Structure 1
Amino acid sequence: MNVSKLFKMMMAILFISSLAFPFTATADAASTSSATVTASNLNVREKASDKAKKVGSLKKGTKVTVYSKTKSGWSEIRYNKKKAYVSTEFLKFKKKVASYKRDTSKVYVYKSNGKKYTHSSTGEKYNKVWTIWNLKGAGESWKEVEKETGEGYYIGWPESEYFIALGYPLKVGAKWESWDGSNTYIAKVTSMSKTVKTPAGTFNKVVEVKESNGSTRYYAKNVGLIKAFVNGKKTSELVELKKKK
Structure 2
Amino acid sequence: MKRVLKWLCCFTFVIALSTAGVTASQAASKVMWGKLEYKSGMIGKVTVMKDTVRYEKNTKGKLVSVGKMKKGEEWGVYALKPQHYELTRKTYAVKSGSLKYEALTKSKIDQIKADSRVITSGLKPSTKYEYQFSYPGYGLYTSKFIGRENGYDLWDSYDSETGNRETWCYFESKSEFVYGIYQSNLLYWMKMPVYLNESWSNHSGISNELISYRVTSLSKTVTTKAGTFRNAIEVKDSFGNYSYYYPGIGLIKSIGYQNKRMVVYEELYKMTKVR
TM-score by structure 2 length? 0.52
Distance 1:196 1:160 in 2: 30
* 2:141 maps to amino acid: Y
Question: Which residue of 113, 119, 131 corresponds with 2:153?
Answer: 131
1:111 is displaced (CA, Å) by 0.9
Question: Which residue of 204, 216, 231 corresponds with 1:205?
Answer: 231
* 1:169 maps to amino acid: P
Equivalent residues of 1:195, 1:204 under 8 A apart: yes
Distance 1:12 1:154 in 2: 16
Equivalent residues of 2:121, 2:173 under 8 A apart: no
Distance 1:103 1:224 in 2: 7
Counterpart for residue 241 of structure 1: 271
Q: Which has the larger radius of gyration?
A: 2
1:244 is displaced (CA, Å) by 3.2
Q: Is 2:241 the counterpart of 1:218?
A: no
Q: Is 2:216 the counterpart of 1:190?
A: yes
Distance 1:181 1:202 in 2: 32
The change in CA–CA distance for 1:216 and 1:180 in structure 2 (over 3 A counts) is: farther
The change in CA–CA distance for 1:228 and 1:150 in structure 2 (over 3 A counts) is: same
Kindly provide the CA deviation profile for residues 142-177 of structure 1, in whole angstroms up to 9, marking residues without a partner as x: 111110011221013333225334321211111112
Superposed CA RMSD in Å reads: 2.7
Match runs of 1:25-174 below 5 Å: 97-114=120-137, 115-122=139-146, 124-127=147-150, 129-137=151-159, 138-174=162-198
Q: Secondary structure at the match of 1:155?
A: strand
Q: Is 2:30 the counterpart of 1:7?
A: no
Aligned structure 1 segments of 4 or more residues deviating by more than 4 angstroms: none
Distance 1:97 1:234 in 2: 27
* 1:175 maps to amino acid: S
1:214 is displaced (CA, Å) by 2.6
Identity %: 26
Counterpart for residue 181 of structure 1: 206
* 1:201 maps to amino acid: G
Distance 1:224 1:10 in 2: 20
- The gaps in structure 2 that reach 5 residues or longer are 12-117
The change in CA–CA distance for 1:106 and 1:13 in structure 2 (over 3 A counts) is: farther
1:12 is displaced (CA, Å) by 8.0
* 2:265 maps to amino acid: T
Equivalent residues of 1:126, 1:158 under 8 A apart: no
Distance 2:182 2:251 in 1: 21
